[in-house]
Amino acid sequence: MVFKNKTRFFFFSGKGGVGKTTIAAATALRLSRKHKVLIVSTDPAHSIADSFEQKIGGKEKPIGKNLWGVEIDPADAVEQYKQKLAPKMEKMEMLKGLGLADAFDIAGMTPGIDEMAAFDRFLHYMTSNEYDYVVFDTAPTGHALRFLSLPDVMDSWLVKIIKLRAKFSGMINIAKKILPFGEPGKDDTNLGLEQLERMKARVEAAKKLLADKKRTEYNIVLIPQEMSIFESERALKTLHEYNIAVGSIFVNQLTPANGHCKFCQERRAGEQKRLGLIRQKFRGFKIRELELFGHEIKGERALEKVGQRLYGK
């Protein structure tokens, strides 16, 4: 598969509460100075609307000069899939007897429908030529890593379906109701081997794109606390297993120097020790540090300040 453009993709993830949304929003705003940028929230909490102080929603919306935003709503995705699947549930029970019980968890819909919907949207942006950069504000670390594993899961599903197609051709249309990765505008009602192979090619293309260091960059956001450091270290190992390049390690919420505040000095001293641990564990990566602000980071002016501290003027 040939990509229509050279859109670059930046992912931001980390343990809940580390400030990844703020950093993703500041990065998107910074990039929009010279490029056309889309920021996508796949986090059910959807904090980018708060960061930009405006409603965004499930459709791409302009939120600044050269900047658009969209929030992928997992609740809507789940409801749409339920409506689509409800009439087929009885027939889908047959899948359990066809060697696909592990691939399709009918009752639990594993992996999550919200993750599948988010990945389907990712595929849409991957094959369009609409934006120069797409910035993903992802769900907390565990969910984000499952999202990145979906190409392997989907590839496994499709391989099994292709192998069983000749023997169980009637099963294919049922399986198609679960897979959201058909080509846009294509009528796959009579899904055949050629269509399945094309779907598989799209998934494989996604795997290659995620592993393309020139196109995709994963950024880890953490705070100077041991739990956050160790979770980020585990995430880094998982990303390495999927051959996904990590760009920067963002250390957020550092206490500023303050010689008149004993509490601040003690807190900062402990953070500096853990900052040394971070530099040791993430040796070789670009480490960007961000100190705490004296106010909540909301609105374009505040995000501009964050961008300046992270990337310079």
pLDDT band at residue 204, thresholds of 50, 70 and 90?
confident
d(CA 281, CA 283): 6
**49 and 63 Cβ atoms separated by less than 8 Å:** no
Count Cα neighbours of 92 within 13 Å in the Cβ-side half-sphere. 19
pLDDT in tens, 109-141: 344 555 565 666 667 777 777 899 999 998 765
Distance, CA of 142 to CA of 252 (rounded, Å): 19
pLDDT at 170: 52
- Range with the poorest average pLDDT among 25-39, 187-201, 232-246: 187-201
CB 26 within 8 A of CB 232: no
Q: Which residues pair with 221 in a beta bridge?
A: 250
* Residue 284 φ/ψ region, left for φ over 0, alpha for ψ in the -120 to 50 degree band, beta for the rest: left
Q: Residue 125's pLDDT is what?
A: 75
pLDDT digits (tens, 9 = 90+) for 274-307: 999 999 999 999 999 999 998 999 999 999 999 9
> What distance in Å separates the CA atoms of residue 20 and residue 269, rounded to the nearest whole number?
24
Q: Which domains does the chain have, with CATH numbers?
A: 8-82+111-152+206-311 (3.40.50.300)
- pLDDT level of residue 144 (50, 70, 90 thresholds): low
State pTM to two decimals.
Answer: 0.77
Residue 129 CA to residue 133 CA, distance in Å, equals 10
Dig out the tokens for 110 from the structure.
Answer: 């594993």
Neighbours of 67 (CB within 10 A): 24
Lowest mean pLDDT among 14-23, 70-79, 290-299: 70-79
Gyration radius (Cα) of the chain, Å: 21
Smallest CA-to-CA distance from 104 within 75, 71, 81 is with: 81
